[in-house]
Structure 1
Amino acid sequence: MFSRRKWLKFSLRSAIALMLTLVISACVVRRADESNSASTVADSSTAITVYTALEDDQIQNYLTLFQQEHPDIKVNTVRDSTGIVTAKLLAEKDNPRADVVWGLAVSSLLVADSQGMLEPYAPAGLERVRSQFRDERNPPHWVGIDAWMSAFCVNTVEMEKRNLPIPQSWADLTNPAYKNLIVMSNPASSGTGFLSVSAILQMMGEEKGWQYLDALHQNVAQYMHSGSRPCKAAGAGEYPIGISFDYRAVTQKNDGEPIEAVFPQEGSGWDIEANALVKKPQINPAAKTFLDWAITPAISQEYAKSFAVTAVKTDVPIPQGYPQEPLKQLINNDFNWAATHRDRILQEWTRRYDSKSEPKTS
C-alpha cells in the first residue's frame, strides 16, 4: 500500500506523463494534418478546369500534346456548344468554376469581359499571334487561336434524287424548292448559328436582314442546338442541306460522305476561337501554363490541320476543301457590335423562329 505522500508523488508523475503524451500526440496529429493539407493543395494546384466549345474530335488530339509536355497537370474539360458554355460562365459570375476558357467565340468572351469576368494575361509567345487575333489591350483579356466560318453542307445524293440544284449563296437558300429541306444551328445555343445570323444582319442591314431570315425560315425544317448537328444530319441524309461551319463540312466531305462543302458567294460569317484566363480570387499557376501552351507553334500546327485561318502562322497547307484565299471569304465582322447586341438579337430571333427549334435534351 502506498503512503499518502508516495501516492501524491505517483499521481503527479502520472499526470505529467499523461500531459506530455497528449502534447506530443497533438503535435504529431497537427503535423500530419498540415502534411495532408499541403498534399491537398499540391494536388489541387496541378488540376485545372477548362471550359471549351471546341469539337469533341479535336479536343482529345490537342490535349494529348499538352499531356506529353505537362504530364503533372490534370486538365478537366467541360465541353458544350458556345451558347451553353457562355450561359454557364455568366451564371457562375459570382462563383467561377472554370480556370481557363479555351476555344470559345470572341463574341461570347467579350460579353463575359464586359462583366469583369476575365483576368488580363499575356501568354508567353504572344508576339507570334497576329494582331487582329488578340485583344489590343496590354496585357490582353483574350487571345485567339483560329477562325471558323459559315458553310453549307449539301448532300449531293439527296439533291440529285430531288433534281434540285446545289445552293451557292445565302440568296439561293430562300428558293421555295428547298421548303423543309434545310436545317440550321440555333443561334441561342450555338456560336455557329449566331455568327451566321450576325453576318446576315451586318451584310444586309437589320431591316433587310430580318426580312431575309423570315424568308429563310419558310424553308427551315428545324433549328438544331449544335454547330455541327446540321452537317451531321445532312451527311446522314436526314435533310439535304445543313447550314453549319467550315471544319465540319470539309471534314465530312474528306471522310467520304456525300457532302459538298459550300462557302456562300456573298461571304461567310465568322468568329475567332479564343482563350482567356478566368478572374478568380486565386489564380492557379497551371492555368497560365495551359494558356502559354495553347498558342505554341506545336499546337498551332494542329489547329491549322482543321482550319484555314489560324492566329499563329504555320507552314501547314490549307486543308483540302477550303477556298484557296480563305481571308477573302470572311465578311467585314464587327465583333464589338455582335457582342453588344447579342442579347437583343437572340431575343428577337427567338420571338420569331423558336417554334421550329429541336427539343432540348436534359
Structure 2
Amino acid sequence: MKNKCSFLASLALSAAAMPALAGEITVYTALEEDEVAAYLERAATDMPDVTVNVLRLSTGDLGARLIAEAGNPQADVIWGFALTNMLNPGIYDQLGPYAAKGAEALNEQFRDKEGRWFAPTGYVGAFCVNTERLAQLGAPVPTSWADLKNPAYKGEVVMPDPSSSGTGYLQIAAILQGAGDEAGWQLIQDMDPNMAQYTTSGSRPCRMAQAGEFAIGASLSYVAMQGIDEGYPIQMVIPSDYAGFELEANGLMKSSANPDDAKLFLDWTLSTGAVEAYAARKDLVTIPGVPRSPQAEKAGLPEDLAAVLFPMNFAASGEARDAIITKWREAVGR
C-alpha cells in the first residue's frame, strides 16, 4: 500500500463515514493538531503499508460523536483521548481488549485491567503567563488557582471551556477534587469575574497569552514549553494548589473492520519511533526510560512531576462529568 497518512479537519465529513479498506484504518483522536501531524509523519515511516485516516475533534465533541455512533461505530481506533472520557460506559463498552506490544511495561495505573485501554502519554495543566503584559499591568505572577481571584487580573485571564475541552475539564475537576465541592465551587465563582473568555481549545489560552492578547492563559504545560522555546515572553507556572493532569488513552474498537491493522497501529503507539516523537514534545510520558526533553529543561518543568501533580481520581471525574459541567454553566453563567 502506498505510504500515506491523511489528516482530516475536525469539522469536516471524512473517511470515517465510510468503511475502511484493507490496509487502511480510521482513527479518532483528541490530540492537538500539531501533535497529530508530527506523529503521523513518523507513523508513515514506520508503517508504510497502512493508511491512517484521522478525524481530530476536541475532547467533548469526540466523546459526543462516539456515543452518537454507538449503534454504528465508524472508527477502528481511539487514540490520545482523555481517560476521564474514555471511562464513560457509553464509550468504554465499545472498546475491545487488546494487549498492545509493550503495554506490560506501563505501570498498572496507566493501563486497564481488562486491556481495553492504555495511556502512554498525558498532559499537565499549567498557566502561560505573559510577563511583559503583567509588568505593564503592575501585577504579580500568579502561582496558584487561588491567586487568580486577584482583581488585578480582571479581564486578563483566559481558560478552556470544560464542556468542550478536556484541558478545561481536568482543571475544574482538579480544583473540585482538591478543594472539595463547597470551597471548589466558590473558587471557580470567585475567579470568573477575571475571565475574559472560555475557549473551546485547551491550547488556545496559551497561544493568546503568547500573542499578548491576555496576560494569563490557563492551558497546558507542553504548549507553554513550546512557546518558551520559540522565544515568546511567557513563563510557565504549574499551579501550586491543584495541578491537574489527564492521561491520553488509546484503545481498539471492538467493531473494527480491520482489526489487524488497527492492532498494528496501537503497537506503534508504544514503539521506539512513537516514543522518540513523544519525547520531542510531551511533558508527561508514562513509558519507562523516556529522556527529559530540552524544552522541559528550558521551561523549568519539575523533574519529579509526581511530586507536584494532584492525584487525580479519573473514575470519579468521569462519573461526575455531566453533573459538573451542568453546575459549571450555572455557576459562571456563560
Fold-level similarity (TM above 0.5):
yes
Match of 2:227 in 1: 252
User: Displacement of 1:69 after TM fit?
Assistant: 2.0
Letter in 1 for 2:237: V
What does the per-residue CA deviation read over 1:307-350, in whole Å, with 9 as the maximum and x for residues that have no partner?
Answer: 23312123422422211211112101111100111111111112
Per the alignment, residue 122 of structure 1 pairs with: 99
Structure 1 residues 287 and 112: alpha-carbon distance in aligned structure 2, compared to 1, 3 A threshold: farther
Structure 1 residue 283 displacement after superposition: 4.6
Q: Does 1:193 align with 2:168?
A: yes
Q: Deviations over 1:162-198 (max 9, x none)?
A: 1111101111111111111101000000000000000
Q: Does 1:334 align with 2:334?
A: no
Report the equivalent of 1:210: 185
- Structure 1 residue aligned with 2:34, among 38, 42, 57? 57
- Aligned counterpart, 2:47: 70
Alignment correspondent of 1:344: 323
Which shifted more, 56-65 or 165-174? 56-65
User: What per-residue deviation string (whole Å, max 9, x for no partner) do you get for residues 187-239 of structure 1?
Assistant: 00000000000000000011111011000111111000000010011111111
For 1:278-297, what aligned pairs fall within 5 Å after superposition? 278-280=253-255, 282-297=257-272
**Whole-Å separation in 1 of the counterparts to 2:102 and 2:70:** 29
Q: CA RMSD in A?
A: 1.7
2:158 aligns with 183
- C-alpha contact 2:110 2:120 (8 A) present in aligned 1: yes
In structure 2, relative to structure 1, the CA distance for the partners of 1:112 and 1:276 (3 Å cut) is: farther
Q: Is the 8 A contact 2:127 2:220 kept in 1?
A: yes
Name the structure 2 match of 1:299. 274
Aligned match of 2:304: 325
Tell me: CA distance 1:354–1:290, structure 2 relative to 1, closer, same or farther (3 Å).
farther
Deviations 1:131-157 (A, max 9, x none): 2211123xx110001121110011111
Partner of 1:7: none
**Residues 113/329 of structure 1: CA separation in 2 closer, same or farther (3 Å cut):** farther
The within-5 A match list for 1:1-362 is 44-112=21-89, 116-137=93-114, 140-280=115-255, 282-318=257-293, 319-320=296-297, 321=299, 322-355=301-334
- Partner of residue 7, structure 2: none
Counterpart in the other structure of 2:14: none
Which is worse superposed, 119-128 or 101-110? 119-128
Displacement of 1:52 in angstroms is 0.8
* Counterpart Cα distance in 1 of 2:267 and 2:290: 21
Distance change (3 Å), C-alpha of 1:115 and 1:52: closer
The Cα shift of 1:267 comes to 3.8
AA partner of residue 144 (structure 1): A
- Single out whichever of 227-236 and 52-61 deviates more from structure 2: 52-61
**Alignment-mate amino acid for residue 101 of structure 1:** I
1:301 Cα offset (Å) = 2.5
Change (3 A) 1:126 1:281: closer
- Distance in 2 separating the partners of 1:298 and 1:131: 23
Secondary structure, counterpart of 1:266 in structure 2: coil
* Distance of 2:97 and 2:333 partners within structure 1: 37
Residues 113/315 of structure 1: CA separation in 2 closer, same or farther (3 Å cut): same
Alpha-carbon distance in 2 for matches of 1:149, 1:233: 18
TM-score, normalised relative to structure 2: 0.89
CA distance, structure 1, for counterparts of residue 27 and residue 89 of structure 2: 15
Max Rg structure = 1
Whether the 8 Å CA contact 1:45–1:284 is kept in 2: the answer is no
Instruction: Check conservation: 2:30, 2:59, Cα contact below 8 A.
Output: yes
Does the 8 Å contact 2:76/2:257 carry over to 1?
no
Please list every run of 5 or more consecutive structure 1 residues that lacks an aligned counterpart in the other structure: 1-41, 356-362
Distance in 2 separating the partners of 1:281 and 1:104: 17
Q: Secondary structure at the match of 1:280?
A: coil
Same amino acid, percent of matched pairs: 40
SS of 2:79's equivalent in the other structure is strand
Q: Distance in 2 between matches of 1:276 and 1:66?
A: 17
C-alpha deviation, 1:43, in angstroms: 7.6
Count of residue correspondences? 312
